[in-house]
Amino acid sequence: MYVLVLMLKAVNEVALVALISQGALFILAGSKRDNNFVYFILKSITMPVMKFARLITPRIVIDQHIGWVALFLLLVAEVLLILAKISLHLEAAGAA
C-alpha cells in the first residue's frame, strides 16, 4: 500500500509541476503559446486533469477557470497523499 501511495504521489507531483509550468508559460508566451512546442507538451500532460475538472464542475464555471479548479484538485490530492504516506509510515513503524 505504501508503494501505491508513493506512485500516486509521484504522478500527482508530475501533473502539478506540469500545470504550474503551463500556467507560467501561458503568462510568459502570451498569444504565441499555441505555437510553442513546450506548451503543447505541458498541455498534453495536464489534459486528463483538465478534462476531469471540467467534468465535475457545473456548467456555470467558465472554461477559463478550469485551470484553477484543476490546480485546486491537484493540491488537495497532494495533501491527502502526504497524509496517507505519513499514516502508512507511522503504521509501519509501529507508532500508530
- AA letter at 59: R
pLDDT in tens, 33-48: 888 899 999 999 999 9
Q: Please answer whether residues 49 and 16 qualify as being in contact, where contact means their C-beta atoms are separated by less than 8 angstroms.
A: no
User: Domains in the chain: how many in total?
Assistant: 1
pLDDT in tens, 74-93: 999 999 999 999 999 999 88
The continuous run of DSSP H or E covering 87 comes out as: helix 66-93
pTM: 0.87
Which single residue is written with the C-alpha cell 495536464?
46
pLDDT in tens, 50-80: 999 999 999 999 999 999 999 999 999 999 9
Q: Which domain holds residue 48?
A: 2-93
Which single residue is written with the C-alpha cell 510568459?
28
Instruction: State the average pLDDT over residues 12-35.
Output: 90
